[in-house]
Chain A
Amino acid sequence: MLLTERQLEWELTREPAGRSGAANMTIDASLLAEAARAGRSFVRLYRFDPPCLSLGRNEPAAAQYDRAAIARLGLDVVRRPTGGGAVWHEHEVTYAVAASIATFGGLRAAYHAIHARLAAALQTLGVATALAPDRPTARPPDRRGSCFATPVGGEVLVGGRKLIGSAQVREGRAFLQHGSILLAGSQEMIAAVSREPQAASAATTLSKELRRQVTWDEVADAVVRAWGDELTPAALYRRLPPSTALFADPFWTWRR
């Protein structure tokens, strides 16, 4: 099942301008569909504007988060197509990788391979990154708690604290993994809109680790330099997603 990593040509898009949660999830889902349909491989570097709360595909959000408080605060909120817990996307470089499953093989192999590339990129900025051990000592996060509450095997840590939070979905012969490389800020917004106390965040940020401001472009450049395979500019989504209907639909966002 764990196939050898192949030398691939990846199509790269850099979107420093930022989009809404629904637009970003629609694009990521379209990359997954294109990877499944045509075997293309994508790396997308982007961000959220306005800042956005994203929920995991199967999180029991209605019970877990205060929808009225989210509305009162005027937060953009979206439910991802991928698993895992909630993420507050504000000061980060968001990445998405969509490719055929054969590219990296099994689930854990893909998680490791992508994180190893991202960790190597961040090392070039001077951060001492390490990958979390494959079998975590504690149980993985339960349904309560943000994505950054507990590291799981293969995730990127600095001094035991999580710098990148990622999640994955596999459909047909392709997968999408996306995640947040934290530049600064905190995940406290999740606690602020949660109905119950949250586990303390185990996150750290690049600015905290490097004791200086780290920019989106700086990190994006590092990822591109360290990726290892050929990256060519994508012919930006030859077929742009027709609409953000699914991911903008409150019925999807609050479906459980």
Chain B
Amino acid sequence: MANIPADLRYTKDHEYVKRTSDAAVVQVGITDYAQGELGDVVYVDLPKVGAVFASGDVFGTIEAVKAVSELYAPLAGTVTEVNKALEGDPALVNRDPYGAGWMIKLRPKTAAELDQLLSNEAYKKQIG
């Protein structure tokens, strides 16, 4: 059973958004359900700090076993940090998707967009 924490927000494409200690910045990664579906992650291709995305833009790709999948920006915003640890240890996404396996930190263009994302209950319903 996948871990879907109540304090995060989700997209239908299996990204999550987590608030950080900086109120203007959120953490983005993929959900526990998504990492389980993908299998062992072997490579994560992430953007550069400063990259600007619209909501739904492709911000990177992830390769697991033999498949490359796109990663979508859950919110419009600017990348303030990328998780360099994934270069050496991409399996962090499998082991700790909501913690050490985070992907990017994003400064959202508008805070209101966050409220439009799925709650944990809505996301759970989607993944069945």
List the interface of chain A (C-beta within 8 A of B).
Answer: 1, 56-58, 81-84, 106-108, 111, 139-140, 142-143, 147, 152-153, 166-172
| Interface, chain B (partner A; CB < 8 A) | 37-40, 42-43, 45, 63-70, 127-128
Contacting B63 at CB < 8 Å: which of A1, A57, A142, A172? Answer: A57
A1 adjacent to B128 (CB under 8 Å): yes
A-B contact pairs, 24 of them (CB 8 A): A1-B37, A1-B128, A56-B63, A57-B63, A81-B68, A82-B66, A82-B67, A83-B63, A83-B64, A83-B68, A84-B65, A107-B37, A107-B39, A107-B64, A107-B67, A107-B69, A140-B65, A153-B65, A167-B66, A168-B66, A168-B68, A169-B68, A170-B67, A170-B70
> Which B residue's beta carbon lies closest to that of A179?
B66
CA distance A82 to B42 in the complex (A): 13
Contact A58 B67 (CB under 8 A): no
Q: Would you call A172 and B70 a contact (CB within 8 A)?
A: yes
User: Are A58 and B65 neighbours in the complex by a CB distance under 8 Å?
Assistant: no
Find chain A residues with CB under 8 A from B67 CB.
82-83, 107, 111, 167-170
CB distance from B122 to the nearest CB of A (A): 15
Q: Are B43 and A58 touching (Cβ within 8 A)?
A: yes
In the complex, the answer to whether A57 meets B70 with C-beta atoms within 8 Å is no
